[in-house]
Amino acid sequence: MAQIIFLHGASSSGKSTIARELQARIERPFWHISIDHLRDSGVLPLSRFRSGEFAWAESRKAFFDGFHASLVAYADTGNNLILEHILDTPGWLETLSGSFAQHDVFFVAVHCPLELLIERESARGDRPLGSAKRDYETIHLGKTYDLELNSTDGVNASVEKVLKAWRRAERCSSFSHGS
Ligand SMILES: Nc1ncnc2c1ncn2[C@@H]1O[C@H](COP(=O)(O)OP(=O)(O)OP(=O)(O)O)[C@@H](O)[C@H]1O
């Protein structure tokens, strides 16, 4: 059984920042995995999607289905994962919950006030404007978490909370059996 710590929050909420620090401090080896890594490593022909030569809408489903299947493969082969992801499409939660049934999933909400999300998104300049607000308004609906963080608490305090709660090994989230 693999350990999966799933950080779920809006774009710019601070998932990657927490994931990096968590990976540096947790007592076992964990992968830090995100679609950001695929995107930033040049896997996709991004410039041709951006120019309109290729239609992202036609490739999106296969991309994410492949990403989700790869996560399951990593976990099934014994790799612990710090996963940061945004469940913004109907069916993804159910698919991943079913696929991860044999694994220990610790599901963590990363909250951030809307004004701060918009400020961060604008300062970064590398995310589509408006995605943080759209995520903020939708992605947490209908989800039950093992732990809820607020980015305003700071990275160190957030990582401490994750470690403490994860080590307790009590699970009650949307990924728990029977929920
Ligand atoms: N606790 C924090 N305090 C101050 N700034 C933060 C904090 N957490 C993250 N940031 C800043 O906010 C921006 C977004 O952070 P990060 O990349 O961790 O978010 P994310 O949720 O992974 O975003 P995305 O889903 O778009 O990849 C970065 O510029 C980061 O430095």
- Residue 17 identity: T
ipTM greater than cut 0.90 = yes
16 is in an annotated binding site: yes
174, part of any domain: no
Indicate the pTM of the whole model.
0.96
pLDDT in the model for residue 178: 54
Q: Strands, DSSP E only, in 80-126? A: 81-85, 104-111
Return the closest-CA partner of residue 64 out of 56, 74, 75.
56
175, part of any domain: no
pLDDT over 50 (residue 109): yes
Tokens at 172, concatenated = 């009650």
- Residue 142 identity: G
Helix then strand then coil, in percent of the chain rounded to 5, is 50, 15, 35
What domain range is 130 assigned to? 3-168
73, part of any domain: yes
> How many whole angstroms separate alpha carbon 154 and alpha carbon 9?
15
Percentage of the chain lying above the pLDDT 70 cut: 99
66, part of any domain: yes
Name the residue of 17, 87, 111, 117 whose CB sits within 8 Å of the most ligand 1 atoms, as the mutation to test its pocket.
Answer: 17
79, part of any domain: yes
Assign residue 9 the CATH number of its domain. 3.40.50.300
Domain count of the fold of the chain: 1
179, part of any domain: no
45, part of any domain: yes
Is residue 108 packed enough to be buried (19+ CB in 10 Å), middle (13-18) or exposed (0-12)?
Answer: buried
Ligand 1 mean position, distance from CA 3 (Å):
24
Q: What is the mean pLDDT of the chain?
A: 96
Q: Give residue-wise pLDDT tens across range 18-35.
A: 999 999 999 999 999 999
Active site amino acids: 36
Q: Give residue-wise pLDDT tens across range 32-54.
A: 999 999 999 999 999 999 999 99
